[in-house]
Copies of this chain bind each other. A is one copy, B any other.
Amino acid sequence: MDSEFEVPRELSGLQKKRAQYHPELPPCLQVSASPSSSILGITVRVEFGDSTTCADPSSANVIGRAFPHTFGQPLAHFLRATAKVPDAQIITEHPPMRVGVLFCGRQSPGGHNVVWGLYKAIKIRNSDSVLLGFVGGTEGLFTQKTLEITDEVLATYKNQGGYDLLGRTVDQIRTTEQVNAAMIACNDLRLDGLVIIGGVTSNSDAAQLAETFAEAKCPTKVVGVPVTLNGDLKNQFVETNVGFDTVCRVNSQLISNVCMDAQSAEKYYYFIRLMGRKVSHVALECALQSHPNMLILGEEVALSKLTLFDITKQICDAVQARAEKEKYHGVVLIPEGLIESIPELYALLQEIHGLHNQGILTDKISSRLSPWASALFEFLPPFIRKQLLLHPESDDSAQLSQIETEKLLAQLVEKEMNRRMEECIYKGKTFDVICHVFGYQARGSLPSKFDCDYAYVLGHICYHILAAGLNGYMATATNLKHPVNKWRCGAAPLTAMMTVKRYSRGPGAVPVGKPAIHHATVDLKGKAYELLSQKAPSFLMDDLYRNPGPLQFEGPGADAKTYTLAVEDQDYMGRMKKLQEYLDKVKSMVKPGCSQEVVKAALSSMASVTEVLSVMTTPSFGGHQPL
């Protein structure tokens, strides 16, 4: 059943050296090698936290109904061998296990290390266990095309970029047909576990698959791993995604190089579109690393409902202000998702997608648009019209990678600057712009040390999840801004990350649609955004370009982490554990027999805590409400 293995690969010197790098493990995942303690050494220790809900309380019912078997499962924390937790589950038996693993969704640097970490964790506990990789991703799953992972197979893929060890294809397990094919494959191959490596939609699919398997009493447990360069699979449990670090660093290098170029030649503006799907995490992080003059943040545009005209004006005003200081160069970052954040374009895209869904042929769509949408459509340059008419992607978003928003803005800004020039409003030199798109050239990169470590650790955690018999969980490592030996490892139910879309805001809004894990947008109240906002005016005018340089594996910069990770105040999992400790402590301090005063003090304090919390968790308080 195994596919033939590829021709031997020629690795460069650096690739070979990287292949020899061995990521560290946090204490809770370390295996003691001494033979005297061999059983103790490979023990898996799980402590279960409280049962989970979801961030938006009003959605809990909807999600609970849709996922009766997998909603509300407890958090899991994996503990080091020396940890003294009385009610931890100690797993010392490791019968042979059969696990399948697949890549799902766009390749993200580090993916290979998840496979490697999982393989190591499985084999060290039972050499009879088998790890099967599905060749060609989901298609390999449906057609049961597998490659048994061995040391030889992995040899040239450790710490390497791409997904080419196994490849990937359709990237969804959603239709009944697909879900059934997956279940048949898991049954036929007698899999104890199925590990899905992917982003937001792949992990939504994983959650659905877990529920379906549980319902159908299929014994295969489904585990998700957060691997996506977009960095948008972020929530209470997940601090960052495998690949985000690398992609931001490679992009930042390129942006910095372009900034350097702009400043040396002093005659061009560069408009750079960055891959990153609907959200602007990559663009925000790159701006923090490289200090370009402007970043048009999709989330800001959406919040302020800026029109194409507003954005054009904003850029033109900046160009004009810079020209007054004799600066005729600059660098502007544009997230690829921006196009969907501009209200009138979003509305136009919705109409177009609606007509696609009605089966209208592409070349008939423009004649079927509403008068309003039609007017906008005709106003746009021909190249962008063609791109807007492309079929939407599987998650119903536009084909963002194909829509040249940067060129659209470049044309509009150029036109407006020429107008201002003719009308003598602008008196500087002619506005000259060069457009770039960065994405494909970053996502195939050798993964950074951080992504190598993070992915490898998550791979190990997948084994722990399967050993604990958990289904519908995501592997999580937290406290990531600290060194690996401080990382905390655990697992959270996929359903706890879900939200339900609603079409209006406010307390009365009714959730509609299927529960799913949604793209986390850039938090405009978050610290990363705050950091950028503070610096934006000087970035705009003072050219404080900063060059993080090419990704290093040794020496300075090799251990740098993303700003987003470093400044955000995260560690949700750690806090949940801490809270549990407080609750336990209160319980143990206020045991029957203690004084009346102690009980009264406890009651009064607890009443106040619960009061505050009940106010905060009512929907009208403005908790996390996805659009």
Binding site for B on A (CB under 8 A): 7, 9-18, 103, 106-107, 136, 160-164, 167-169, 250, 253-261, 263-266, 270, 289, 291, 434, 436-438, 440-446, 542-557, 560
Contact = CB atoms under 8 A, between A and B. Distances in A.
Given A12-B289, A255-B441, 6 more contacts: A12-B546, A162-B260, A168-B265, A260-B444, A264-B444, A444-B547
A328 to B, nearest CB: 11
Contact of A257 (B7, B18, B266, B442): B442
Contacts of A555: 14, 17, 553-555
Contacts of A548: 12-15
A263 B164 contact: yes
A162 B263 contact: yes
B162 A544 contact: no
Contacts of A10: 291, 544, 546
Contacts of A549: 12, 14-15, 18, 446, 551, 553
A350 to B, nearest CB: 26
Contact of A550 (B167, B266, B550): B550
Contacts of A14: 547-549, 552, 555-557
A414 to B, nearest CB: 14
A261 B544 contact: no
25 contacts: A7-B543, A10-B544, A12-B547, A13-B560, A14-B548, A14-B556, A17-B555, A17-B557, A107-B261, A107-B265, A161-B260, A162-B260, A162-B261, A167-B264, A167-B266, A250-B550, A254-B254, A254-B441, A257-B445, A258-B441, A436-B441, A552-B552, A552-B553, A552-B554, A555-B555
A556 B16 contact: yes
A271 to B, nearest CB: 12
A447 to B, nearest CB: 11
Contacts of A16: 556
Mostly, the A contact residues are loop
B12 A161 contact: no
B553 A270 contact: no
Contacts of A546: 9-12, 15
Contact of A444 (B168, B257, B291, B434): B257
A251 to B, nearest CB: 10
- How often does this chain occur in the complex, in copies? 2
Contacts of A544: 7, 9-10
A215 to B, nearest CB: 33
A590 to B, nearest CB: 51
Contacts of A554: 552, 554-555
B553 A551 contact: no
A445 B438 CA distance: 15
Contacts of A17: 555-557
Contacts of A7: 542-544
A432 to B, nearest CB: 11
Contacts of A545: 9
Contacts of A164: 260, 263-264
Contacts of A11: 546-547
Contacts of A255: 441
A441 B266 CA distance: 15
A16 B14 CA distance: 23
A443 B261 contact: yes
B259 A444 contact: yes
A257 to B, nearest CB: 3
Contacts of A263: 162, 164, 167
A130 to B, nearest CB: 24
Contacts of A258: 440-441, 444
A239 B545 CA distance: 33
A475 B168 CA distance: 53
A264 B551 CA distance: 21
The 5 closest A-B pairs by CB, nearest first: A260-B444, A257-B444, A162-B260, A14-B549, A163-B264
Contacts of A160: 547
Nearest to A289: B12
A434 B441 contact: no
A161 to B, nearest CB: 5
A391 to B, nearest CB: 13
Contact of A556 (B13, B441, B543): B13
Nearest to A256: B444
Nearest to A272: B441
Contacts of A445: 253, 257, 260, 550
